[in-house]
Amino acid sequence: MKEIIATEDAPKAIGPYSQAVAAGGLLFISGQIPLDPATMQIVGGTAAEQSEQVFKNIGAILKAAGLDYNDVVKTTVLLKSIHDFAPVNEVYARYFSGDYPARAAYEVGNLPKGALVEIEAIATMVRS
């Protein structure tokens, strides 16, 4: 069984998908780009600035599910340019501490709405 997780504090889906889906004790957060949820406009001119907004959006979705960044077990980072890996990584490191989630990072041809970064996440909903 699955449960759709949605919040007004993160951008609405810009296509036929959900912000997040809970299933099997996991929360699958759709790729987040740096959209301001109020205006649905891109925030930030650099990949580092944009990743700050991406993490705010991910955080809002985690909160809506009763979770936080400590519950994230896997992320996928999509970058318009792999040259932005280091500045995005600096921002990334501020949101996770200690036991880091598994991660993959890729350079891609394009991202929705001209974004420089998109991040998806998987979190555990099972507390030990």
Average pLDDT over residues 57-85: 98
Average pLDDT over residues 54-68: 98
Give, in words, the CATH class of 2-124. alpha beta
Q: Is the pLDDT of residue 89 over 70?
A: yes
Contact 5, 27 (CB under 8 A): yes
Give the confidence band of 50 by pLDDT, cuts at 50, 70, 90. Answer: very high
Sheet with 2-5: strands ordered across: 2-5, 20-23, 26-32, 117-124, 72-79, 102-107
Q: Is the pLDDT of residue 52 over 70?
A: yes
CA distances to 53, 59, 82 from 92, rounded to whole Å, are 11, 12, 15
List the one residue out of 91, 77, 94, 82 whose CA is nearest residue 48. Answer: 91
The overall pTM is greater than 0.85 = yes
pLDDT of residue 128: 64
